[in-house]
Amino acid sequence: GNFARREAARLLTERQWRRQAGDNTTAAARKDCLTRVRQYIVTKMGEDWIFLVLLGLTMALVSWSMDYASAKSLQGMKYHTQEGNVPLQYLAWVTYPMILVMFASLFCHLVSPQAIGSGIPELKTILRGVVLKEYLTFKAFIAKVIGLTAGLGSGMPVGKEGPFVHIASICAAVLSRFMSIFSGVYENPYGYTDILTVGCAVGVGCCFGTPLGGVLFSIEVTSTYFAVRNYWRGYFAATFSAFIFRVLSVWNKDAVTITALFKTNFRMDFPFDLQELPAFAVIGISCGFLGAFFVYLNRQVVLFMRRPTALTRFLTKHRLIYPGAVTLIIATFTFPPGFGQFMAGELMPRECINSLFDNFTWTKISAPSAPPSLGRSSAWLHPHVSVFVILLLFFIMKFWMSAVSTTMPIPSGAFMPVFILGAAFGRLVGEIMATLFPNGILFDGIVYPILPGGYAVIGAAAMTGAVTHTVSTAVICFELTGQISHILPMMVAVILANMVAQGLQPSLYDSIIQVKKLSNCYNKYNIFVEDIMVRKVKFLSSQSTFRELNHLLETTTLKTIPLVDSKESMILLGSIERTELQALFDWWLSPERRVFERAQSSPGQGSKVSWESFAFVDEEGGEEVHLSVFDCTKQIKAWEEAELDKPINMEHTRIDPSPFQLVERTSLHKTHTLFSLLGLSHAYVTSIGKLVGVVALKELQKAIEGSTRSGVRLRPPLASFRDASRKTKNAQCF
């Protein structure tokens, strides 16, 4: 009976043990499964397409929200300026935009002054390697969005394309910091440029719903060098953003379906005749001169405001006076019952574009008998003034208004104002052509009438191309209008405009870079690598020991370490990744290697040796001695100390035999070009094969910032010694 009870207890205990072991195994398997699922989700969340979708969706929502808010603001302005008492109308017409513009200026000044202006010049500078603080922060995002919404809602001739590029880049930068939780790729400093490039493309794409033109425009405007790997990123994010942007318009019943933003209905069978090509060429050449003059006028206004005069000091001290005065003057000139009736002053920017692109020929329509289908285009017709005079006045007045309003301290772009200017000029040429050929142009027995709206589209593309020095504006125009019928003459006009404008003035963005002294063009040829390189280089030689390697790994954070022939010759042999050296060092002092080495030294006791007991044989007594824990630790420490003094064996280490190298006389400009083109993080400086220094991104950025801070050529640290040695050599030559 006792035996049966003991056996039953044993079986019960064994069953409980097995059940517990099974439960532990199940729990471990469940935990492992959850860990793998979590790791899989985190890995998938860090993929590129997730980041691009989030960026496109965010920017589409921001763009649509800003358009909705600014449209409601403009409707409120029209409501308060309806027909009635003219003085009250004028007061409402002037006060409303002044309040919005001054609010935008004050809000940006208090929250983030970096939000003022376009943002494209600063981004162009950042992508060239210059670090501009606070330009890509969340504060700048808030200030830019709210300030730009208020500026667009005021009805002033300011655009949103440039600020949207800045907003999208900030969004991309902030989102990349969030995505770094899931993937370390977004912490890579080289990937930062790719992220900003994609942000620029999304900014233009969701601004107008033009993904193709947005990517091309961002490449032309912001990137000195563009990596092909970013094409799919830019197109994917911009297309998704533009799609959501247009879907939101359909959802809000602003559009019936997903169509172009300024859809036109030009005939497709024969949109223009070859005899009209000279007129298109005239538009292109004229827009080249006009675009160059616009850049010149804009720069002169900015330079005037920067001069240390009593007026500028007063305006700088009282920051709201300048934007308030500019808004007051512009609003006074555009007041519809006043002078604005002679320049279609009642039309808001989007209404201007829609009317300039319409299918009507205004010279054939008289103001009293205007058809109802003319819509808002009737604002261009006056019973006592010719259409030519109204278009000419509109172009002249809006020209200086746009050049001045873009200098106000608010978030503002120049693309849309210049786009409207080009459309007005093209429309003027088109109406002149329609007057010269009232019956149209005869071709193959068929008379085709002139389409002034087509001329307006070509003028808009040519003018914006001349001001920005880009040809992608032609693609943006055909995406905006939804028709490709005029793409060939449009490209001809844009290329001619660029040829003229580039020979006269820099682009508007380069002009702002020069005025703000953001460019590194002052002394990029006068500073050399020897002036900015780090001379105390951490290195390894073929005679270095593991102790030296350990010290190097503990005291530096270098990702690659140069390898030289010897400390005396300093001939550069290559470079080794830090991970390789760390793995080599860890293996050299590992318990496994210690056991292996002990087994090799005591072949007969190899099977009994364990790194936990560190057993060894007393050779005199012939007996095995087991050390205490203290003695074991002491022996391990002694063994490690002995191993640290041994030279490093580089035979099994992967060495890069050709790390990127520069010579001492490489200019700052060439160095920056190479770093930008090849995506380098550092470069070794050699002299006849000898390692004399290293240049990293940090040194390069400091050099560029130092050379552009004051706009004058700064003396580099070793310039005096270099000049002295140069004079000595010249004297010896004589």
d(CA 577, CA 562): 9
In 3D space, the residue among 496, 490, 439, 416 whose CA is nearest the CA of residue 266 turns out to be: 490
- Three-state SS at 409: coil
Give tens-digit pLDDT for 342-377: 887 788 888 888 888 888 787 777 666 667 767 777
551 occurs within a structural domain: yes
Cα–Cα separations (whole angstroms), residue 707 to 130, 441, 522, 657, 703: 11, 59, 7, 34, 6
Query: 248: pLDDT confidence band, cut at 50, 70 and 90?
Result: confident
661 occurs within a structural domain: yes
Residues 323 and 442 placed together within one structural domain of the fold? yes
Enter the tokens of residue 472: 């992608």
Q: What is the CATH number of the domain that holds 317?
A: 1.10.3080.10
Q: What is the CATH number of the domain that holds 705?
A: 3.10.580.10
* pLDDT(674) > 60: yes
Residues 537 and 492 placed together within one structural domain of the fold? no
Give the 3-state DSSP-derived string for 293-346, with helices as H, strands as E and coil as C: HHHHHHHHHHHHHHCCCHHHHHHHHCCCHHHHHHHHHHHHHCCCCCHHHHCCCC
d(CA 722, CA 552): 32
Starting from the edge strand earliest in sequence, which strands make up the sheet with 560-564, in order?
540-541, 560-564, 572-577
Residues 286 and 140 placed together within one structural domain of the fold? no
Query: 185: pLDDT confidence band, cut at 50, 70 and 90?
Result: very low
Is the Cβ–Cβ distance between 468 and 415 less than 8 Å? yes
d(CA 190, CA 170): 17
d(CA 336, CA 342): 8
- Three-state SS at 562: strand
* pLDDT(727) > 60: no
106 occurs within a structural domain: yes
> Averaged over 472-489, what is the pLDDT?
81
> Averaged over 249-263, what is the pLDDT?
68
* pLDDT(16) > 80: no
Place of tokens 């995002």: 141
Residues 491 and 547 placed together within one structural domain of the fold? no
Residue 622, judged by CB atoms within 10 A of its CB (0-12, 13-18, 19+), counts as exposed
21 occurs within a structural domain: no
Average pLDDT of the residues of the chain = 77
Residues 282 and 375 placed together within one structural domain of the fold? yes
d(CA 444, CA 275): 13
* Low-confidence winner among 124-138, 205-219, 482-496, 674-688 (lowest mean pLDDT): 124-138
Longest dimension (CA), the chain: 127
* 540 CA to centre of own chain: 39
Residues 203 and 54 placed together within one structural domain of the fold? yes
561 occurs within a structural domain: yes
d(CA 379, CA 395): 15
Residue 603 confidence (pLDDT):
57
> Averaged over 428-455, what is the pLDDT?
80
11 occurs within a structural domain: no
d(CA 361, CA 452): 6
Is the Cβ–Cβ distance between 379 and 355 less than 8 Å? yes
Give tens-digit pLDDT for 376-417: 777 788 778 888 888 899 999 989 988 888 888 888 888 889
Q: Name the more confident of 118 and 289.
A: 289
Q: Which of 501, 516, 531 is the last residue of a domain?
A: 516
Whether the CA torsion 177, 178, 179, 182 is positive or negative: it is positive
d(CA 211, CA 476): 8
Residues 351 and 221 placed together within one structural domain of the fold? no
Range of the domain at 142: 35-252
pTM of the predicted model as reported, rounded to 2 decimal places: 0.72
Cα–Cα separations (whole angstroms), residue 542 to 64, 569, 589, 650: 63, 11, 20, 8
> Averaged over 58-86, what is the pLDDT?
78
Give tens-digit pLDDT for 413-423: 888 899 999 99
Number of domains in the chain: 3
> What is 631-655 written as a DSSP string?
HHHHHHHHHHHHHHTSBP--TTS--
d(CA 691, CA 684): 7
480: which residues sit within 8 A by CB, 6+ positions away?
208, 209, 210, 260, 261, 262
604 occurs within a structural domain: no
587: which residues sit within 8 A by CB, 6+ positions away?
593
Residue 725 confidence (pLDDT):
47
Residues 539 and 433 placed together within one structural domain of the fold? no
d(CA 70, CA 623): 93
Residues 458 and 310 placed together within one structural domain of the fold? yes
- Three-state SS at 459: helix
Is the Cβ–Cβ distance between 70 and 149 less than 8 Å? yes
> Averaged over 63-84, what is the pLDDT?
76
Give tens-digit pLDDT for 95-111: 888 899 999 989 988 88
Is the Cβ–Cβ distance between 696 and 682 less than 8 Å? yes
Give tens-digit pLDDT for 518-571: 654 444 556 788 777 888 888 888 888 888 888 888 888 888 888 888 888 888
